[in-house]
Amino acid sequence: MPGPLLQPKPVQPFSYRKTAPIRLSDKHGREIHYLRISLTDTCNLRCVYCMPEHMKFRPRQELMSTAEYARLLRLFHALGFDKFRFTGGEPTLHPDLIELVRLTSDLPGNPLTALTTNGVLLPKLAKPLRDAGLRRVNISLDTLDPERFKQLTRRQGLEAVLRGLNAAEDAGLEIKLNAVAVRNFNEEDFVPLARFTLEHDWQVRFLEMMPFGNNADFQNGQRVEEQGVMGRLTRAFGPLEPVGNGLDGEAKVFRIPGAKGTVGFISPVSDPFCGDCNRARLTADGKLRLCLLKDDEVDLLTPLRAGADNRALEKSVREGIWEKPWGHDLAYQRFTQNRGMSEIGG
């Protein structure tokens, strides 16, 4: 069963101000300064927990142009956002990814610029992205077995992902591996994936599946909760050691005794962390999405294309952030319906 959510804190009602605060806050008192930016809804894989085999993608004209991304990136930065992560679909398919990374990392104060990718195209992109200012990369890798990789992704590509990992390490990028735990698919891979941390200063993170739209039955039925993964690792390596205060953003972090890297657990269903959420999402079709697991969105692309000035756009962002929901309703079997995971970017 999902863990209980902490109760939100009451704060003063929203009021629009002419000058931007250092950081925007929502009505629950959380500072929101981390933007996840989906560059496309397309992907070169078809992971079973993410999208159908024959996914229908949005027409290009419905998606934001590079110039529109650039304008909104500057606007969010002016509103106090200091961490930006490019996602997809698969963001390495966007032809101007390197340009957008360079633009973001060159903003005043050098905001943290990161990327989440399946890693297939990293062998040729890791160094150019690092040269453009990328600092962190999260690589999705659920299995080290070629046949299971093909089952999970419905495509070939494991060797390319492993080459991408090496290229990212050679380029000097900070690396995290994201492994979605899927019952009856990749449970045998938990230990081999965690073993990466023995020799590499990486964080291998095990993610609990979340229910989305038409794929919710699979995601609920095949979910492996944190204790199931932890049990396998403990049997293989002995008790894991908490690192620092045990938290890295939304991940609970541990170390295998003697390992160079760490192991993380992200459990949004069984152990929600909504009270510490500091993020918003910008979809590829220009919607400011306020919670990953709720359908609340603010349309920014329509007014942008209609000629809205920065003041009007900033007002929409401020009001949207203020109304950010407290948390998801998975405990009540209520979840997002209007988009799948690949259309949001995680």
| Secondary structure in 3-state letters for the chain | CCCCCCCCCCCCCCCCCCCCCCCEECCCCCEECEEEEECCCCCCCCCCCCCCCCCCCCCHHHCCCHHHHHHHHHHHHHCCCCEEEEECCCHHHCCCHHHHHHHHHCCCCCCEEEEEECCCCHHHHHHHHHHHCCCEEEEECCCCCHHHHHHHHCCCCHHHHHHHHHHHHHCCCEEEEEEEEECCCCHHHHHHHHHHHHHCCCEEEEEECCCCHHHHHHHHHCECCHHHHHHHHHHHHCCCEEEEEEEECCEEEEECCCCCCEEEEECCCCCCCHHHCCEEEECCCCEEECCCCCCCEEECHHHHHCCCCHHHHHHHHHHHHHCCCCCCEHHHCECCCCCCHHHCCC
For the chain, which domains are there?
24-49+59-343 (3.20.20.70)
Give me the pLDDT at residue 12, please: 39
pLDDT digits (tens, 9 = 90+) for 240-295: 999 988 778 889 999 999 999 999 999 877 777 788 899 999 999 999 999 887 88
The pLDDT value given to residue 304: 97
pLDDT at 55: 75
Task: Compute the CA torsion angle 222, 164, 260, 248 (nearest 10 deg).
Answer: -60
Q: Give me the pLDDT at residue 346, please.
A: 61
- Residue stretches of the chain with pLDDT short of 50: 1-21, 218-219
The pLDDT of residue 311 is 97
One-letter amino acid at 233 equals L
- Please give the Cα distance from 199 to 317 (Å, whole number): 43
Which pLDDT score, from 0 to 100, does residue 9 have?
42
Q: Which amino acid is at 22?
A: I
User: Which residues, in sequence order, are CB contacts of 233 under 8 Å at separation 6+?
Assistant: 190, 191, 194, 240, 256, 263
pLDDT reported for residue 292: 83
pLDDT at 319: 97
Q: What pLDDT sits at residue 112?
A: 97
**pLDDT at res. 3:** 42
